[in-house]
Structures are given as structure tokens and as C-alpha cells.
Structure 1
Amino acid sequence: MTTLVTGATGNTGRHVVTALRRRGEPVRALTRAPERAVRQLPAGVDVVAGTHTEPDRLGGAFDNVERLHITVTAGLAEVGPDLVRRAVDVGVRRITVVWGGYVGPVEQAVADSGIEWTRLEPQEFMSNTLTWVDSILADGVAREPYDYPSALVHEADIGEVAAVALLDDGHDGHAYNLTGPRALTPSERIAVLARVLNRPLEFVPITHDQAVERLLRTGVSRDDAEFVVGWYAASSEDSKTVDDTVERVLGRPARTFEQWAAEHADRFRPHP
């Protein structure tokens, strides 16, 4: 039984692919960048060009697929329900979906699909820390408008939970809140990075508007920028409350931010 993973080179998709291949499962990786995927993904993955935001152009991507992993991304809300319908029509029997921060049209279509499904509701990704790379390399600082705690989750844990839900019974109809083992503020994360990198680093506050403008310069729409920065300004209890779901599903503790920082330390170090 083949699993189709959409967004297979993304923050979470590549970890889903890796976790599935680690268990010896056949995987088809859907990606806009097949050349990069071949270099980045494990051996034995069937890489196909395409995107889940164009379900009517997927062609043979669904051939012999019985499991599907979806990550809700920008542009999927309108076409995502059609993607789910097509999956059901071709015989997919189990779906996992990484939500977009709330139960929207795609998440609801998965829940209403009539087949087995599991919704993954991760809180903030540890990989969001990578947005600090340039400022840390330039002057040893991270600039954020708010210094509130967040129960950050490692993307590899999301991938492994998805693989378990796709391959093992007992997860149908569950919505899994996924966090790391500790809630950390940005200034606490900076302190961890400073220890890992063995160099002084500093947290520098900026205004709400400066944070929005920074996102706009990356091509994000103003509505999306306000949503993201507003999420930090008025974070929910779920976003800062540690949940043991990762440990219960995987049978081992969730990865720590210290582990994440050690794995990505070279990204924050200058290279000749």
C-alpha cells in the first residue's frame, strides 16, 4: 500500500516521508521541486512533480495509493475539499492532515470524508527559529515583538506521529494536539542557542507593526502577516501548555528544543 505525501520537501512533509521509509513503507512524494526532493529524501521514494493545490492536475499521482498525508498550506482552502474527494474516489482509505491552525474547509472535508482520518494539530514549529538565522549571523540578535512562552514542537515528531497514524490502527477520528516537552519564550530560546553555539546572543524587542512589515517583505499578504503576529500577541492556552500526546503516541519523550538547536547549529554559524 503506497502513501502519497503532499508537500514532501516542506517543514513537516519530509519528516513524514522519512518516518514512513524508516518503517520500510512505499512512499510517493508530491513536490514542486522533484530535483531537490531526489537529493533530500531517503532512497526508494517515488518522487512525482505536482502540488496539492492543483488536484485536477495530479494525474497518476494517486495510482495504487491507499494512504494520504496532507499539510494545509496557503491556497489549499478552496481546492482542498476537491483533493479529499478525489482521494476517496480512487480508494484512499486513511488520511492524516496537519491543520493550518484551525479547523477550516480542508480539515472539515477530511473529517467528513467517510474514511479513516487523523488530524494533527501542532503548536508552533521549532523550525520557526530559523527566521532568526540572518540577524544572528549579522549581529547576534533575534528580534521579536513579544516574549511569550510557546510549547514548540519538533517537526520530526510531527512526522513520526503522522506515520504512526497512517500505518497503525487506533487513531481514527482523533485530533492530536502536538507540543514539545517544555514551553519556551523567544528569549529562553536565544539562551539555548547561545549555549549551543558558545557565543553571546541577545533578544531585542520590536513593535507589532515592525513584525508585520518584516513579514510583508517576504511576500506574505497583510492579512496573513497580521494573523501570524496577532497569534503571538494573544496566544492561546493550548499554544503554551505542554501536552503529552507525542509521548503517548510514540512511546518516548518528545524531542527538546536543545536537540533541535544542536541539529541546526551550523545554520547559525558563519561559513567562509
Structure 2
Amino acid sequence: MRILVTGATGQVGRHVVAQLVEAGCSVVALTRRADADLPAPVEVVRGDLLAPASVPFDGVSRMFLFPEPRTAREVVARAVEAGVSRIVTLSSGAVTGGFDTDFQLPVEQAVEASGVAWTHLRPGDFASNTLRLWGPMIRSSRVVRFAQPAAPSLAIHEADIAAVGVAALLSDGHAGRWYDLTGPALITRREQVAAIGEALGEEVRFEEVDAAEAREILRAQGGWAAANADFLLGFADYSAGGPSFEDVDWSAALTPLPTVEEVLGRPPRTFAQWARDNVAAFR
């Protein structure tokens, strides 16, 4: 079975690739990175979902699809024409919550309209967001300066998202379903910082600042943190036309879901496990 993984070096895609290789699958990995470090014997193809003609479908029967709404219909149409019969889409819990109207949702709609068997993965907060937000602070000073230390998260390990996706790619019974995915338990931002410190074997302090100051810190940091600062700190809604965060009942969104265990037969990994798995990135 030949499977195409798009976004193959991303937070989830790299785990999908590794798990498919472990399962003995033939994997084609699409990436924009010339220095992609992926396990042998993966066939690495440089390309971009924004250039659909660069997406390799030769001999591919199933696909893991990273969300790119601008070209989703064209990419999916090429996949169907090439004989792809099953697509697993990396989406977001924001679709279930009604927040997403213009990013993951259009990709889901393109896949559903194609006529192939589909499964959508809708994870909530990625555990790796803590690395992208706080990594530079922890590496430089062992102090996280951020807002709302008691804010809770159901952060999920990206390897668990990937494992559900791999199950949907390789086994039957998942077609036409969407999976809302969470970690096993609520954990506050302060507790996340403490778990990272425990993994490091050093104290990492949480220094509370207000949302406006936290936004300026992230903007100065640059990259993903700067690009997402307004959304993450409540200064902007998820999607234009979606509901305001202030109008949402968050109780349902803060309830751990059994989905990972139902699909995989085991509980999801904890945030502490994620911190141990990724401790080198904080050194």
C-alpha cells in the first residue's frame, strides 16, 4: 500500500510518517523543506500544496492531507483522478465548535464532496504549541512570561493525533467519521510549565503578565508565536464570520473526550509524557 503524507515534516505529519513506516507501509512524503530528516525508506518529494501539480500521486491509494484551503479542491480532484480512495484530513476542533469557517472547514468540505472515503481529525490544543510559544523563553532564562496561568488546556500529544490518523488510513470502520481529539485531562498553563521544568530537571518559573504584555512578548519573538499572538490571547476571533469567543459556552470544550482510547484501545499520552519526549527542544 502506497500512502502519501502531505505536511510530512509538520507537528503531526512527521509522526504519521514514522508510524506508517513502522507499520511496513510504502510512504511518499511531501515537504517544502530541502533538509527534511525523515526515516528510510521514505520517498521524500519536494513540493507544495499551493502548487497542486507538484503533489505526487503516482501509485498512491491513500492520503494524509494537511489543511491548505486555497488549493484543496484542486489537490483533492487530482487525488481522485489518480485513484486515491481514502483521505484522512488533519482538521481542528474549531470546526466542531463552529469557530472555523475559512481554514480547515473548506478542506473538509472539498474532501467530502470528492466521493472518496474520508475521515477528519479534529484535535484541540497541540501540546507542541507550548514549545513554539515558550521555547525561546525557557531556553534563554528558564522563565515563562505569559498571561492567565490558571487557564486550562486539554493539550494533546501530536503522536496520538497521528496514531488515530494512521488507524483511519490503514483499518476499516473509520470512513465518514470525524474524530474530536483531546488529551487525557485538563492542565493549566502553570502546570504545563512545571511539567517542562520537571522534564528538564530544573525549575522553570511562570511569571504572570497581562494579555497585552504577553502579546508584545510574542510579537517580539517572531515566527509562529507572533503570527498567532492576537488569536491566542483573545484579541481576535478564530475566523471571520465565526462566533466571538466571548459568546461561547466553554464547558463542553473543556471536557476530556474518550476518542483516542476508543480508536486506539489505550488512553492518550499525558502532557508530562510529551514534555519528556521533547525535553531536548527546551535545553
TM-score tier (shorter): 0.7 to 0.9
Pairing 1:238-253 to 2, within 5 Å after superposition: 238-253=252-267
- Judged with a 3 Å threshold, the aligned counterparts in structure 2 of structure 1 residues 238 and 2 are, in CA distance, closer, same or farther, namely farther
- Judged with a 3 Å threshold, the aligned counterparts in structure 2 of structure 1 residues 70 and 195 are, in CA distance, closer, same or farther, namely same
Contact in 1 for aligned 2:61/2:84 (Cα 8 Å): yes
- Judged with a 3 Å threshold, the aligned counterparts in structure 2 of structure 1 residues 223 and 157 are, in CA distance, closer, same or farther, namely closer
Q: Which residue of 2 aligns with 1:109?
A: 110
Deviation at 1:53, TM superposition (A): 2.1
Q: Which moved more, 1:125-134 or 1:201-210?
A: 201-210
Deviation at 1:164, TM superposition (A): 0.6
Contact in 1 for aligned 2:219/2:227 (Cα 8 Å): no
Alpha-carbon distance in 2 for matches of 1:224, 1:265: 23
Gaps spanning 5+ residues in structure 1: where?
none
Q: Does 1:127 align with 2:141?
A: no
After superposition, give the CA deviation of every residue in 1:88-133 in whole Å (9 maximum; x if it has no partner): 1211100011115325211111122211000000111111121312
Alpha-carbon distance in 2 for matches of 1:237, 1:15: 30
Q: Does 1:207 align with 2:210?
A: yes
Q: Which residue of 2 aligns with 1:160?
A: 163
- Judged with a 3 Å threshold, the aligned counterparts in structure 2 of structure 1 residues 85 and 16 are, in CA distance, closer, same or farther, namely same
Deviation at 1:238, TM superposition (A): 4.9
Q: Does 1:65 align with 2:60?
A: yes
- Judged with a 3 Å threshold, the aligned counterparts in structure 2 of structure 1 residues 54 and 214 are, in CA distance, closer, same or farther, namely farther
Deviation at 1:41, TM superposition (A): 1.5
Q: Which amino acid aligns with 1:243?
A: L
Q: Which residue of 1 aligns with 2:20?
A: 20
Given the two structures, how large is their TM-score scaled by the length of structure 2?
A: 0.85
Q: Does 1:48 align with 2:45?
A: yes
Alpha-carbon distance in 2 for matches of 1:97, 1:151: 21
Alpha-carbon distance in 2 for matches of 1:121, 1:159: 11
Q: Does 1:192 align with 2:195?
A: yes
Q: Which residue of 1 aligns with 2:86?
A: 94
Q: Does 1:118 align with 2:119?
A: yes
Alpha-carbon distance in 2 for matches of 1:196, 1:225: 26
Alpha-carbon distance in 1 for matches of 2:166, 2:26: 12
Alpha-carbon distance in 2 for matches of 1:227, 1:153: 19
Contact in 2 for aligned 1:150/1:239 (Cα 8 Å): no
Deviation at 1:11, TM superposition (A): 0.5
Alpha-carbon distance in 1 for matches of 2:44, 2:282: 30
Alpha-carbon distance in 2 for matches of 1:219, 1:261: 22
Gaps spanning 5+ residues in structure 2: where?
96-103, 239-244
Contact in 1 for aligned 2:30/2:47 (Cα 8 Å): yes
- Judged with a 3 Å threshold, the aligned counterparts in structure 2 of structure 1 residues 86 and 238 are, in CA distance, closer, same or farther, namely farther
Alpha-carbon distance in 1 for matches of 2:225, 2:80: 33
Q: Which amino acid aligns with 1:109?
A: A
Aligned residues: 261
What RMSD, in angstroms, separates the aligned Cα atoms of the two structures?
A: 2.3
Q: Does 1:229 align with 2:233?
A: yes
Alpha-carbon distance in 2 for matches of 1:155, 1:224: 19
Contact in 2 for aligned 1:124/1:239 (Cα 8 Å): no
Alpha-carbon distance in 2 for matches of 1:156, 1:44: 20
Deviation at 1:224, TM superposition (A): 5.0
Q: Name the SS for the 1:246 alignment partner.
A: helix
Q: Which amino acid aligns with 2:211?
A: H
Deviation at 1:221, TM superposition (A): 10
Q: Which amino acid aligns with 2:89?
A: V
Alpha-carbon distance in 2 for matches of 1:57, 1:9: 17
Q: Name the SS for the 1:104 alignment partner.
A: helix
- Judged with a 3 Å threshold, the aligned counterparts in structure 2 of structure 1 residues 241 and 216 are, in CA distance, closer, same or farther, namely same
Q: Which residue of 1 aligns with 2:77?
A: 85
